Amino acid sequence: MNKIFTNITLAISLILPAMYSAADTVVFDTITHFKAANYSTTNTSFRPFIIGVEKDSGNTITRVLGGSSELALCIPLILTAMEKPGRYYLNVTEVDQFSQFYCMLELKTPPE
């Protein structure tokens, strides 16, 4: 009985950190579209999103953005990345299942 309890405790301790550290990051090389809208849980056409070219793969990707407070902070970074496509990468990281996210600009290194 004690060994079963120890194994269950070990399994839970290994699973919990993975559940809470599952941040999903997308890095855009170029932003082609940006829609700012009030987030709606019922109507998908009223959700803000970014469409662009993914860094290193060249694939076109779409990222739906969540809460309005984070969006207000990210708008200047998104617009900067759109205005200067050869200068910055835009990192968008979704933190959890509650649509919380953050944005970060990364300076591209000039080719040597």
Per-domain residue ranges for the chain? Answer: 23-107
- pLDDT score at 17: 46
Distance between terminal CA atoms of the chain?
64
- pLDDT score at 72: 81
CATH number of this structure's domain 23-107, picked from the four choices 3.40.225, 1.20.120, 2.40.50, 1.10.472? 2.40.50
Question: Which regions of the chain are under pLDDT 70?
Answer: 1-23, 38-45, 67-69, 97-99, 112
H-run or E-run covering 76: helix 68-83
Write the burial class of residue 104 (CB in 10 Å: 0-12 exposed, 13-18 middle, 19+ buried). Answer: middle
Write the burial class of residue 48 (CB in 10 Å: 0-12 exposed, 13-18 middle, 19+ buried). Answer: buried
H-run or E-run covering 95: none
pTM of the model: 0.70
